[in-house]
Structure 1
């Protein structure tokens, strides 16, 4: 017996997430590459980017403008095959995307801590970039925080740091250097925004594959905007009931449930010059395997 699809259900969920307006085009395209394209070879047809962005209210004009800017900034490389334009990630962008994917889908074990002394002529700009990654500014040229996956920041001398005891010395510095209240608010907002998805995606047969991909892209986009800025402090120094744990569980559960039909849509519509993107790869299977190991609350 064939189950009827209900596009209104997906539209309501998408509208709930987009209540404050569509995401920025360039940022959402980065999400598409990170979730869909990079684990399947790193290249996509611009028509697929336009269609995926249309699902969240981003116009074709904005997509083309954003792609042009990503090319100018060195994140994307363009190529043509007949009348079609394709874009692949640059080598530098692929390194950045791999580091971000490790935070989104990899182990949440504690990482080593570093002091970074900025050596460039414009330390203010470098410091802003480090703070966006979750480092704490403790001087004009000195930052402190957990080492991020990927290459070390440029224009910096790095010193490994080791707390004198478990949590000792860190707890007293948390409120001074990190805005945990702000991170907590972001996680709670994410939980409130995406918790309504749970009852619906338990029955994904009522959703179109294209809607599952749109919902998954929104899920990844919203979560990465939070977690990539989280300093990922040790559990021993976080407040009791830290909402980041619940947000992580919610993200992994929804990602796992949406993926079968979302991946079906990718295989049926995303193409390169050499053919369609695969439904799954070893990388996508590892992401789902990691998510399956997270127990839901």
Structure 2
């Protein structure tokens, strides 16, 4: 296959694996809008997504859906529409960002965290809501009312319990092996609770798609518009795989774990294109609002630190 230009690579990816439009708007909100004050005018979002094959009508439709779902709030100034990340949704954006931009490889002390909700202790609606939220964070359901993870983020768990109004309604405990009983080793719970085949294939597919960019970005002066499109497609594809990754400690995963290689690839590409991508992003945002701030400190800490120019 001949070496593609940046615009040809973007067109190829959009043709072979077109992203879902609403999910792509979410990616732009989390990756690009959040670090710059968390708000945008509709015209800016339309211009940002046009090179990614999302037309005016589709942008309007999917932004409206995100308002209905509680991710964004809307306001108007004359005929112009302004949107901002909903305050109640900010913790979920922050959780997603911690997953995406932080290196995998959680330290593990050999203990598991169990969440217990005995029969009758909570109603079925809350039980379903908790299961959905905890499964997104990588917990496995061992039995009805019993969920477990070997290395969860405690702040995230606390936030989920508070937001779901489950604080004080479930039991949370740490579990360790009892020595000398001849029981199965706790690490073997991984193979019983999680089927990682799809996650492995997802990371391998991500690597196959994006690895060719390293030489392209290293040798070419990528136009800012293309750099933003590449950065958006990169994070969109990486996030899509991570949504199905339970984020277990590396010590419990099959080796070599492709998630580690996928992270390094995403980090290297992001670092190579983020400066030009920011040039395009700010040009589009400041066309509608000259007061759009520069990226915040958290942005420059992504992937272990981004170069500031």
Measured against the shorter chain, the TM-score band is 0.7 to 0.9
Write the mapping of 1:10-25 to structure 2, written as runs, cut at 5 A. 10-25=6-21
5+ unaligned residues in a row in structure 1: which ranges?
1-7, 293-297
Whether 1:90 aligns to 2:86 is yes
1:75 aligns with 2:91: no
Partner of 2:271: 256
Residue 198 of structure 1 contacts residue 254 of structure 1 at CA under 8 Å; is this kept in 2? yes
Partner SS for 2:45: helix
Deviation >6 Å, runs of 4+: none
2:139 pairs with 1:152: no
3-state DSSP of counterpart to 2:123: coil
Following the alignment from structure 2 to structure 1, what is the Cα–Cα distance between the partners of residues 136 and 22?
Answer: 17
Cα shift at 1:113 = 4.6
Higher deviation after alignment, 241-250 or 80-89:
80-89
- Which residue number corresponds to residue 207 of structure 2? 191
What displacement does 1:114 show?
2.7
Distance 2:171 2:217 in 1: 45
Q: TM-score w.r.t. structure 2 length?
A: 0.82
- The 5 Å alignment of 1:1-297 reads 9-106=5-102, 108=104, 109-110=106-107, 113-118=112-117, 119-122=122-125, 123-124=127-128, 126-145=130-149, 146-148=151-153, 150=156, 151-153=159-161, 154=164, 155=166, 157-164=170-177, 169-205=185-221, 207-271=222-286, 274-287=289-302, 289-290=304-305
Output the TM-score relative to the length of structure 1.
0.85
1:182: how far off?
1.4
Worse-superposed segment, 196-205 or 16-25: 16-25
Quick check: 1:264–1:279 contact (8 Å CA) kept in 2?
Answer: no
Shift of 1:32: 0.5
Cα root mean square deviation, aligned? 2.5
Distance in 1 (CA, whole Å) between partners of 2:200 and 2:23 is: 22
Where does structure 2 lack aligned partners over 5 or more consecutive residues? 179-183
Say if 1:175 and 1:291 are closer, same or farther in 2 by CA, change over 3 A: farther
Residue-pair matches, total: 282
